[in-house]
Amino acid sequence: MTTRRWIIAAAVLAGMTLGSVPSWAEPVRVKLLQVNDWDRFEERNGRGGFARFVAILKAENAAADDVLVVHAGDAISPSLLSGFDKGAHMIDLLNRVPLDVFVLGNHEFDFGADVTRQRIAEARFPILNANVKEPDGRSFADLPESRIVEVGGFKFGFFGMTTPQTKEISSPGELRFEDPLAVAAARTKALRAQGADLVVAVTHTGFEEDLALYRQGAVDLILTGHDHDVRILYNGKVAMVESGSQAEFVTAIELTLDRVKEGERTRVVWSPSFRTLDSAAYPPDPEAKALTDALEAQLARELDVAIGRTSAPLDSRRAVVRGQEAAIGNLIADAIRVAVDADLAIVNGGGIRGDRQYPADQVLTRRDILTELPFGNKTVKLALTGAQVLEALENGFSQMEQGAGRFPQVSGMRVAIDPRRPAGQRVVEVLVGGAPLDPARIYTVATNDFLARGGDGYSVLTRGKQLIDPAAALLMASQVIDYVAQRSEVAPTVEGRIRRVE
């Protein structure tokens, strides 16, 4: 299971309540169930997946009258099946869930804005978008910015936001992403003017963006995604929740709301309690499992075909491929470099998505490779100067302490880095064929089409000469499959291609 940071404010342990004030009506209890970063229909290691999520929903709905269900983004990609249907199956499954709010995550844009519009048109649940704009300034896909849901006489004002980093880490084209803090302040003011008693920001934003919103103090509740953490924060005024990923954990936020009189004035008071629900404790719902079994059978016919064996262990866990040289990163980078006969190769660790370990002597299948490389990226070949290669590497290592997906897995070179140095000055040495990287020399570089168009901050690659452009390029995953199949057995290891100097 992916390593997670657990951050729980001390106040939560006591189910913090507000000070005692005279009430003029019976308190109302409302439950919110939150999930985020959930793009896989299948469970893994007895956790997550659609059938266990449905089981949680049924149990929680049976125990309460008023339940609101919220998905904080990343649904249509980058799962294995999304490489075939561009996320249509997840929209179909979510249409069967009583979702009250969905917000667009960065991965909703992995196949381009036109595909996002198509998936939105297929959705039968409310999608909120307050900060993603068309080039002409209209709300993307004419989505509403917010909605008010009335429960038990109290009005919940919801609005949705997507991280502006989507411009770098996905493929939204010419769409604009407005500043979340400014949008949150404006939306909160508007919702309160419309009578909202509680304002809920449903956001797909990174932890630093979340903290800024939390400290701003404008909203009451932040339901967030993007970092894949299980996190609960509450300072007595604002609560913030994130629920891991893949529906392995679902957070129940149970709110008690009341109206109190203070002289001639009436105000709403509320207090939260939190439960983190482990999906491993919920047997899969039979009806939902029948749906996922059919999807699994569809995949199995195409994908469960052996292509070769790895005699060395492989590790594609998120923290590994985004923070250090990884044997599987070497395998993928070598495969695309050989496929297009390039001098060098650069692959972003964030594009390697299997999040698993393979033991030595593991038989590899098409499914394994497509699980690792689900985005449908193609391999392009660029001509770059050594100076441009160095600039690309500096970008790759610039956010390594944050576990950013731009971290490079490489082939054809050895790189020494000092992570203590400021971003942009971390590469100490680059060797190509045993010789120092020549700033003036032209090198051929294999990479994916996402990076070649400037994704993950690799804007320098857009200045390279395209020797194989995306229109003529082949799928990375197919090239890796061919590389393994042609050799029957591979033995990639961590061999010092990326070395820390500390």
Alpha helices (runs of H) in 453-498, residue ranges in sequence order: 476-487
Strand partners, 385: 442
Copy the structure tokens of residue 318.
């998120």
Together in a domain, 78 and 146: yes
CA-CA distance, 247 to 278, in Å (whole number)?
Answer: 9
What's the structural domain count of the chain?
2
**Is residue 233 in a domain?**
yes
pLDDT score recorded for residue 25: 62
Together in a domain, 259 and 360: no
CA-CA distance, 198 to 271, in Å (whole number)?
Answer: 11
**Is residue 327 in a domain?**
yes
The yes-or-no verdict on residue 393 having pLDDT over 80 is yes
Domain end call among 258, 292, 326: 292
Residue with the bigger pLDDT between 79 and 104: it is 104
E strand intervals along 244-359 = 249-262, 265-278, 306-310, 314-315, 344-348, 357-358
Residue with the bigger pLDDT between 339 and 24: it is 339
**Is residue 197 in a domain?**
yes
The yes-or-no verdict on residue 118 having pLDDT over 70 is yes
Together in a domain, 355 and 281: no
For all residues of the chain together, what is the average pLDDT?
Answer: 93
Within 10 A of 364 (CB to CB), how many other CB atoms are there?
22
Length of the chain: 502
How is residue 284 annotated by DSSP? P
Could you report the per-residue pLDDT of 251-288, keeping only the tens digit for each?
Answer: 999 999 999 988 888 899 999 999 999 999 999 999 99
CA-CA distance, 13 to 272, in Å (whole number)?
Answer: 11
| Residue 492: CATH number of its domain | 3.90.780.10
Together in a domain, 269 and 388: no
Within 10 A of 500 (CB to CB), how many other CB atoms are there?
14
pLDDT score recorded for residue 84: 83
Together in a domain, 347 and 274: no
Task: Report residue 79's pLDDT band, with 50, 70 and 90 as the boundaries.
Answer: confident
| Residue 76: CATH number of its domain | 3.60.21.10
- % of the chain beyond a pLDDT of 90: 88
Together in a domain, 371 and 496: yes
Domain end call among 292, 313, 341: 292
Could you report the per-residue pLDDT of 330-344, keeping only the tens digit for each?
Answer: 999 999 999 999 999
Q: Return the amino acid letter for 107.
A: H
Could you report the per-residue pLDDT of 25-35, keeping only the tens digit for each?
Answer: 689 999 999 99
- CA neighbor of 456 nearest in space, from 464, 447, 465, 468: 447
Within 10 A of 224 (CB to CB), how many other CB atoms are there?
29
pLDDT score recorded for residue 10: 34
Together in a domain, 392 and 452: yes
CA-CA distance, 121 to 28, in Å (whole number)?
Answer: 35
The yes-or-no verdict on residue 2 having pLDDT over 50 is no
Strand partners, 408: 348
pLDDT score recorded for residue 11: 35
The yes-or-no verdict on residue 378 having pLDDT over 50 is yes
- CA neighbor of 257 nearest in space, from 235, 273, 276: 273
Domain end call among 261, 292, 323: 292
Within 10 A of 467 (CB to CB), how many other CB atoms are there?
16
**Is residue 298 in a domain?**
no
Together in a domain, 345 and 250: no
Residue with the bigger pLDDT between 470 and 317: it is 317
Examine residue 272 and say whether the peptide bond preceding it is cis (omega within 30 degrees of 0).
Answer: no
Whether the Cβ atoms of residue 473 and residue 380 lie closer than 8 Å to each other: yes
CA-CA distance, 29 to 31, in Å (whole number)?
Answer: 7
3-state class percentages of the chain: helix first, strand second, coil last, to nearest 5: 35, 30, 35
Together in a domain, 351 and 267: no
Q: Which of 5-9, 79-83, 433-437 has the highest mean pLDDT?
A: 433-437
**Is residue 297 in a domain?**
no
CA-CA distance, 478 to 494, in Å (whole number)?
Answer: 23
E strand intervals along 279-318 = 306-310, 314-315
Together in a domain, 274 and 189: yes
pLDDT score recorded for residue 368: 96
Average pLDDT score over residue span 130-145:
98
**Is residue 299 in a domain?**
no
Together in a domain, 287 and 310: no
Copy the structure tokens of residue 170.
């996905």
- % of the chain beyond a pLDDT of 70: 95
Average pLDDT score over residue span 52-69:
96
Average pLDDT score over residue span 63-81:
93
Half-sphere exposure of 12 (CA within 13 A, CB side): 18
The yes-or-no verdict on residue 21 having pLDDT over 70 is no
Whether the Cβ atoms of residue 222 and residue 241 lie closer than 8 Å to each other: yes
Average pLDDT score over residue span 214-228:
97
The yes-or-no verdict on residue 289 having pLDDT over 50 is yes
**Is residue 18 in a domain?**
no
Residue 389, φ and ψ in degrees, nearest 5:
-60, -45
Task: Report residue 17's pLDDT band, with 50, 70 and 90 as the boundaries.
Answer: very low
Could you report the per-residue pLDDT of 411-469, keeping only the tens digit for each?
Answer: 999 999 999 999 999 999 999 999 999 999 999 999 999 999 999 999 999 999 999 98
**Is residue 139 in a domain?**
yes
| Residue-number span of the structural domain to which 56 is assigned | 6-13+25-292
Together in a domain, 278 and 145: yes
